[in-house]
Amino acid sequence: MLTRVDRVQIAVRDRAAAAERLAALFDAEPVADDTVAALNAHRRTVRAGAAVFELLEPAEDGPVAAMLARWGEGLFAAGFATRDLQTLASRLEQHGVPFVAEGEQLFLSGEGLDGLRAVISHDSPPTPTTGALLGPLYEVTMLTPDAAAAAARYAGVFALDPARFCPIDSDLYGYRGTLTLFDPPARLDRIEVVEITDPARPMGRFYARRGPGLYMCYAEADDIDRLRARLDAAGARHAPSAHGAEHGLYIHPSGLLGMLMGVSRTTFAWTWSGRPELVVPR
């Protein structure tokens, strides 16, 4: 029932300043300002190309304020789209996953989902943006003690087909798990569900501090060199992808509101997603 990774939510101390940062990095533009009662937070929604970011500033005590107090700014929740919110809400109830319906979104605290906090919206694909620095978001990474069990849980709750999933592992980054692809080969969108194999690596150290939860997100970009130049101009620390600087990069949390984000050249992520033949040559 999930169709896309359509946004991420970021906990921030000042949503106006955070929006300015995303404008400097990605030419992000404001879409809306409102308040989310379910989170006790003011929200500024911005769009950068095909990617949507919801910037959450606490209004009062609540989960956003609690995250900021404990961990500081960073990735708060994954955002998914579905074509049928009502049916998905019924499915969540059947699986015992609590949620709050507000406006045209469902807010999931992570209870019953191994800590996966999420916001689910009606699928409304963005209008393609020519020349955008950033393409669509397509992945969120979930750290868990048992990747196979978590992937099976998500398949059941969100009506995903395990036959479409792709195993993944990395000695370099110290993890193994599953890409719960929603709709391959049409789209890359998925939850990357992983468990740690090397606690000495950065992902392992993050897990040791925080336990199960969201770690990072991934987006595509047509022109990695152009994006890298913009990051340099904005003073945002970044590192090349293990597959080569021409194919992608990682934006350090220090430059991106406390959130780690990978960016891969458009289609290149099929290299490790089970369909390398879909990669368009550079």
pLDDT band at 112 (very low <50, low <70, confident <90, very high): very high
Q: Which of 34-43, 117-126, 176-185 has the lowest mean pLDDT?
A: 117-126
- Residue matched to tokens 């719960």: 180
pLDDT of residue 219: 98
- Share above pLDDT 90 across residues of the chain, in percent, rounded to a whole number: 96
Asked if the peptide bond before residue 185 counts as cis, ω within 30 degrees of 0, the response is yes
Task: Answer whether residue 128 shows pLDDT above 80.
Answer: no
Average pLDDT for 86-109: 97
* The two structure tokens encoding residue 252: 């350090």
Cβ atoms 82, 88 nearer than 8 A:
yes
Looking at every residue in the chain, the average pLDDT score rounds to 96
pLDDT of residue 129: 67
DSSP-assigned states of every residue in 203-267: HHHHHHHH-SEEEEEEEEES-HHHHHHHHHHTT--EEE-TT-TTTEEEE-GGGTTT--EEEEETT
Average pLDDT for 39-52: 96
HEC readout, 182-196: CCCCCCCCEEEEEEE
- Write out pLDDT tens, residues 133-175: 999 999 999 999 999 999 999 999 999 999 999 999 999 999 9
- Write out pLDDT tens, residues 64-95: 999 999 999 999 999 999 999 999 999 999 99
Domain 2-122 is found in CATH 3.10.180.10? yes
- Compute the distance between CA of residue 184 and CA of residue 170 in angstroms, rounded to an integer: 22
* The two structure tokens encoding residue 280: 């368009």
Average pLDDT for 210-239: 97
Cβ atoms 144, 203 nearer than 8 A:
no
Which one-letter DSSP state was computed for residue 174?
A: T
Task: Answer whether residue 62 shows pLDDT above 70.
Answer: yes
Average pLDDT for 196-217: 97
HEC readout, 103-169: CCEEEECCCCCCCCCEEEEECCCCCCCCCCCCCCEEEEEEECCCHHHHHHHHHHHHCCCHHHCEEEE
Task: Answer whether residue 124 shows pLDDT above 90.
Answer: no
Cβ atoms 11, 31 nearer than 8 A:
no
Task: Report the residue count for the chain.
Answer: 282
The class of domain 137-278 in CATH terms is: alpha beta
Task: Answer whether residue 125 shows pLDDT above 90.
Answer: no
CATH 3.10.180.10 positions along the chain are: 2-122, 137-278
